[in-house]
Each structure stands twice: as C-alpha cells, then as structure tokens.
Amino acid sequence: MQRTILHVDLDAFFCSVEELLDPSLTGRPFAVGGQPGQRGVISSASYAARAFGVRSAMPTAQALRLCPDLVLVSPRHGMYGEHSERVMSLLREAAPVVEQLSIDEAFLDVSDDPRPGSEIAAHLKSEIRLRHKLPTSWGVASNKLVAKIATEVGKPDGLVAVPGGREGEFLAPLPVQMLWGVGPKTQQVLAAEGIKTIGDIARWPAHRLQAAFGERGPELASTALGVDTRPVVAEHQPKSLSAERTFARDIHSQPALEAVLVELVEEVGQRLREHDLAGSTVRLKLRWSDFTTILRQASLPQPSSVDPEILGVVRALFQANWKPGRPVRLLGVGVSGLQPPVRQLDLFDRTWEREERLLRAVDQIRQRFGDQSVHRASSLRRVAPVDGESPGPPGDPPYKT
Ligand code: DCP
Ligand code: MG
C-alpha cells in the first residue's frame, strides 16, 4: 500500500518565536544568536537577514559583516522549547504516528486517513498559524526522504506535495547535496564525475556508482530515484504518565479510596512498562467534594515501574493528606521524571525480577482480554467511575448505581 508521509519544519523557528513577542522585528533582517565579541554564532536567521547571506551556524561577526544593520537577539531557549511542545502536541493530537526529529521538525504518517495528504497538511498548517501564530513549511510524499526534501523546496511558508510514482522526477533537477547522506566529500567525488543533480546520479550506470562508492553505490542509486522504506517511528518518551478517576458520587470510605489507588497505580505502572520507562517522582491528586484540589508529590528511592513500589509512595501520600470521613470527588496518580528503567539487581535477591515477570504477564493478558480481566486481589473492591461500567461493590454505599 502506498503510504502518505508528511514532513513539517517551522520557518526560521527561533526568529518566528521572537517576532511573536516583539512584532516590530517582523520583516526586518534580524537573527537569534550569541554576541560577536564572545565568538557567538547565529542560531536562526530571519528570511530578510538570509537575503544578505546570513545563515545558521555562521559566526555572528561574519553575519554582521554581511549585514551591518542586522539586529541581534539573544536566545531564550526555554521559550522555544515551550512553543515547540505546543506545536508537537497539536500534531500528536492530529495524527496517529508522529516522529519528532528536532525542536522544530517532525514526520507524520497519515496513511490511514482517507483525505489527500496535501489537504491534511494544509489543514494543520493553518491550525498552527491560527492557534500558535507560527509559520510552517510542509512536504507531502510517499516516504520520509522525499517528504523532507519537499519541505525544503517549498520553504518558507510552503506546501509541496509529490504524487506517488513521481518521486524520481521530482528529485531529478535538485542539487545532489539535498540528498540525505550526500555530504561535502561525496559531493566532491560526484562533481569530479560531472554529477551535479540528483537526476545525474539516477542516470549513472550502476557499475560506475559501485566503482566510485563501493557498497554505498546501489543505495545511492535507489535514493536518487526517491526510494525510501523507513517507517515513521513515534518516539515513546512522554514526560509524565498519569491516570485519574472522577466518581459518580463522592466517596468517603478509606478502603474504597485505597482500592481506587491500587487500580490507578496498576494503570500507570502498565503504561510505564509499555513505554519501557521508569519514573522517579510520584504524584497524588485529590479533589474534595467542594472541588478544591490538592497535588502532593514524593520521590521514589530509585526510579521504578513496579506497582508495589509506586503504590507504597502513593498510599503514604494519601494517608498523610486524606482527612478521615471527608468526601472525595476525584483521585489521580501520576509518575514523572521518566527514564529508561535501570534496575541494579542484587544477585542474591531475584524478587524484583519475579515481580517484573509477573507484571509483564499481567500486561499481556490485559492486552488480549481487556483491562478488566486481571486485578490484584486488593483492588477487587471496585468503584464506579463517572464514565465507568460497573457499580461499586455491595457494602460500600456512596457510589452511584
Ligand atoms: N538551530 C541552532 N543552530 C543551528 C541550526 C539550528 O541553534 N546550527 C536552531 C535555531 C533554529 C532551529 O534550531 O530556529 C531550527 O533549525 P532549522 O534548521 O529548522 O532552522 P530555522 O527554523 O531557523 O529555519 P528554516 O526556515 O530554514 O527551517
Ligand atoms: Mg526550521
């Protein structure tokens, strides 16, 4: 099946964010970068500055020689990170598979969407412009290689769609350095052979490519024709994972509330293990019946994805903050400080290993039969969430039935 891959890159990203905060910069030659006296370099150049030859990674002193009126803005990285995160979450809401490549660049696989890729890209482009006031360029193609080059070709504020089957034709007139993997060295070898465009590579006999580039030859030939089978791979690196329940009716029984905590920990623990992550900080969210909400957090002794370890901290937070008899409307459990799990196994104590094996088996069963199939005995006292299915157990009256 032919895939539909979108590539997006924000235009002059750091500069565009600066323009948001100081609209007087718009249209002017300016750049975000370090001071020339401190051997600063340019991070991002506005398109007006690029007309003078100013580019990213250029020493600021050189940029000022090219464009004496260049306005220099000091970088504010925290802010760029926040804007990037907003745009990336918009993309993640819109597409099932999003692979973020850098602070301002991502691939989206929208093959399952029946709409044409260019329509999806145009929609997202205007959403980002409308909601986040930032300009983007888009490439649409049947693979990552061609989509990324299409973005480059259309910059700034572009949208270039390459119809399936016409990848080679699209690439042919472009300079060889636009191909991934063609650095200055390869470019030199190609130039010596009179090869300047991607089409020149495609036309070159296979045996000559092989002679010049060895085993890279065939790869270069297929790349020049616009062939690329790499999948778009969503990075599974959330910042935190959480789960919460709002109750149909407020709950004031401690055992019932603690049973919900067990369920929430199981849910979060399962997702941690799915992502192959461990968390170092545990958060409890508790909303009283009058809607006042408290958030309390504590650190784990070591990063963990093991339910009983997380539950131990959650329970302690709950017991320290819950006021006996006071009705609760919502409970939530979150884990942050996520990182790949590192468990230094004590060679003589394999209990954690056993526990992890058990949890993984439970996760697999849940995947096959649905979430409600396996619970630890202690959480079998079920509580009905607002959007839940079954009412609470008998003997614990405050649930809506
Ligand atoms: N960046 C940097 N140093 C570099 C290259 C980039 O600090 N050598 C930062 C600043 C850029 C951001 O990363 O704003 C994104 O890089 P891009 O290569 O996408 O460059 P721009 O977004 O600035 O411009 P373009 O419109 O070409 O994408
Ligand atoms: Mg960019």
List, for residues 259-299, the tens digit of each pLDDT value: 999 999 999 999 898 887 888 899 999 999 998 889 999 99
Report the distance separating Cα 230 and Cα 143, nearest Å. Answer: 8
Structure confidence at residue 250 (pLDDT): 95
For residue 161, give Cα distances in angstroms to 5, 8, 170, 366, 372.
Answer: 10, 12, 10, 41, 45
Taking CA atoms, 297 is separated from 30, 271, 317, 350, in Å, by 44, 19, 7, 29
Q: How many domains does the chain have?
A: 3
Q: Which atom of ligand 1 is nearest to the CA of 57?
A: 8
For residue 330, what is the domain's CATH number? 3.30.1490.100
Burial class (CB in 10 A: 0-12, 13-18, 19+), 172: middle
Residues 7, 151 contacting (CB under 8 angstroms) = yes
**Residue 257 and residue 309 in one domain:** yes
Looking at the structure, tell me whether residues 249 and 372 fall in a common domain. Answer: yes
**Which pLDDT value is given to residue 236?**
56
Task: Assign 3-class secondary structure to 44-84.
Answer: EECHHHHCCCCCCCCEHHHHHHHCCCCEEECCCHHHHHHHH
Amino acid 369: pLDDT: 62
Residue 87 in any domain: the answer is: no
Range of the domain at 52: 13-77
Reduce the DSSP state of residue 388 to 3 states and report it: coil
Q: Is residue 70 domain-resident?
A: yes
Residue 104 CA, closest ligand 1 atom number: 15
Asked if residue 24 has pLDDT above 70, the reply is: yes
| CATH code: domain of residue 208 | 1.10.150.20
Residues 277 and 314 in one domain: yes
Mutate to test the pocket of ligand 1, among 10, 17, 25, 56 (most ligand atoms within 8 A of CB): 56
**Taking 70 as the threshold, does the pLDDT of residue 361 lie above it?**
no
CATH number where 61 lies: 3.40.1170.60
Q: By alpha-carbon position, which residue is closest to atom 6 of ligand 1?
A: 43
Are the C-beta atoms of residues 310 and 265 closer than 8 Å to each other? yes
Cα separations (Å) of 325 from 41, 288, 328?
A: 62, 11, 9
How far from each other are the two terminal CA atoms of the chain, in whole angstroms? Answer: 48
> Does residue 103 have its Cβ closer than 6 Å to ligand 1?
yes
For ligand 2, the distance from its centroid to the CA atom of residue 115, given in whole angstroms, is: 26
Instruction: Clarify whether residues 277 and 332 are in a common domain.
Output: yes
Judgement on whether residues 361 and 254 belong to the same structural domain of the protein = yes
244 and 341 in a single domain? The answer is yes
Ligand nearest to C-alpha 54: 1
Of 7, 281, 271, 243, nearest in space to 120 by CA: 7
For 93-145, what is each residue's pLDDT tens digit? 898 899 888 889 999 999 989 999 999 999 999 999 999 999 999 999 999 99
Name the region of 163 (left: φ>0; alpha: ψ -120 to 50; beta: rest).
beta
Q: Are residues 263 and 339 in the same domain?
A: yes
Question: Is residue 306 located within the same domain as residue 346?
Answer: yes
Are both 183 and 300 inside the same structural domain? no
Check pocket membership of 14 for ligand 1, CB cut-off 6 A. Answer: yes
Residues 244 and 219 in one domain: no
d(CA 42, CA 32): 6
Same-domain check for residues 198 and 251 = no
Q: Which residues are catalytic?
A: 105
Q: pLDDT band at 397, cuts 50/70/90?
A: very low
Same domain, 254 and 371: yes
CB 367 within 8 A of CB 299: no
